Every structure is written in C-alpha cells, then in structure tokens.
Structure 1
Amino acid sequence: MKKIKLLILIGLIIVIMYLLIPIQCFVITDLEKNHIVKVIPIIEDEIVVYRYIHSVSKTPIEEYLVAINKEIALQEVRYIDQGGAGMPEYGYGDEEFENMGDYFVIRNFNRSFEEVVINVQDKYENEFIFEDSRVFLPDVIENNKRILIKIDDLPRGQIWLTRFKGG
C-alpha cells in the first residue's frame, strides 16, 4: 500500500513539474479586461502574418512578424498600391522596396517591439496567420476593442487552462 501511495505521489510531482514548464507563446490580451483571450505556442524565428484592411484605401496589408528574443520583430510588409494613402513607395536605410506587379513589398524592416496594441474592428478583418492556424480577431474580442500582443513564456498549465476557457 505504501508503494502505491509513493508511486501516486511521484506521479503527481512529475505532472505538476510538467505543467510548470514554460513555453514561448504569442499572447493576445483584451486590454480593457486585462484578460488573456488567446495563446498560441510559437518557436523562435517563426513567421506570423498580421493581415488587415487599410482604413483609408480599403485594401489588404500583410505584416510579417517574427518572435526574436521575446520581442515582436516586423520584418516585411506587403500591400497593394494605396493611391496616396500614406504607405511608403520606397525603402529607407537598409529596407528593400520591390514592386511585384500586383503588390509592393518592403523587406528588412528590422523593427522590434516588446508589445503592440491593435484596435480590432470587424470592417478591417484583423487576423493573425500562424504556421498551422489562423486567429480571426473579431472572433476572440468584441468589435472596436483594443488588444495587446506580446511574446511571453507561459507555463504549460496556464496555456491549457486558457485554451480550456476558449483561448
């Protein structure tokens, strides 16, 4: 009987330790409620595409983001000719500007942020595209609300709990 109790105790300790192991994640937080609404495990240098509709030109923009050293690095932007809506028509410094015919690309942005605030609106079709999933932001937060995105290490247990609650 003592051996069974000891084995159960060892098993519980192993499970608890496993649940406390942190994993790097792309974290989306409702700013108003200060509540995590979505957690996506992400590896270093994984590309995440933030896609939305430009508020003036009403055309799609894709921003290519990468997780580097717990920061969100903007690496590349793709967009359709904005017709004077304020988007660059050439690169600055080390940036590379390229006209791809149907759209423009600016590479080598190399701008990093610890966190980013986004105003989510249905009409802008805000979404994040990951290697194996998509997060359409109007599905996870109310219209006209702000979210905070950041890269953070979260314990496996917290990730599972957040996903169980719908995030």
Structure 2
Amino acid sequence: MRRAHRVRQVVNYVNLSTPLGLLIARIGRATTRRGERGLVYAHGYRIPFPVAGAFTVGNVILTKHPDGYLTGPLLDHESRHATQYAACVGLPMLVLYVAASGLSLLVCGHPASWNVFERLAGLDDGGYPYALPLWRRARRRGRRAGAYGRPAD
C-alpha cells in the first residue's frame, strides 16, 4: 500500500468516518472485505438510501452490487471521496456533502453535477452528467436544448 493510502486510512479511522462507514455497512447487512488502496469494500448493501451505484463513508465504499463491481474509474472516483473525508476532518464531510448536493440541485436540478465534491472526484468516473446551470438552460431553450442543457440530436 502506498504511503498516502496508509496515511488516509489512519486519518479516516482517527476522525471516526471509517468506523461510521463500517457501522453503516453492518446496519445495511453488507459483506465487507479489504480492498485496494487501504479501502474497505462493502457489497450487498440493502438500504435503498442513498440512491447511488456506490457511496463512500471514510475508507468504506458501500454498494448494493456484488463483489467485483468496484473497479476502474468508479473505484478511482470513490477513492477520491475517501481522500476528501481525510481532508475535511471526517464527519463534517457528511454535512458539507449534503449542503453541496442541495446547492447543486438548486443550480442545475441535479444533486451531483455542481456538487464540488463530485466534481473534484471526477463526474465522468462517478457516472454523473455535466448539467448546465438552470439560468443557462433557459437561454438555450430557444436553441432547442436537450437533456441537461446539451443540444438535441
């Protein structure tokens, strides 16, 4: 494991975000295992909230999908969220993330497209769309904009 991943792992245990992630995985009856980069994968999460292919709390990545789902760009995206927990001193990240999602919803109608945490983690890697702000979409309506402000085909 790289030194940066080890530091992140320790910081996220000390700031209590990883223990919270493990508790959420247990409550959601997910099966946990050690993953790459000092992460813990929690597959088979059974609670229908949040609505996402995967989500991260501390160094724990939770998903309703079976083992093998967390690979490639999605794993990169969720790993960046684990780093954000370390940088935001743990549990305050939850409040900041919810606020950023609400702001994104107000700006463009989508909770991730203008969420600073999702943008820094890579919207494409997380499978999120790039949505134009609502005020820009209103101007484009005259030009027949499609979904999320992109020109229609």
Please report the TM-score for the alignment, with normalisation by the length of structure 1.
Answer: 0.21
Name the structure where strand makes up a greater proportion of residues: 1
Please report the TM-score for the alignment, with normalisation by the length of structure 2.
Answer: 0.23
Name the structure where helix makes up a greater proportion of residues: 2
Q: Which has the larger radius of gyration?
A: 1
- Which is bigger in relative contact order (C-alpha 8 A, separation at least 6)? 1
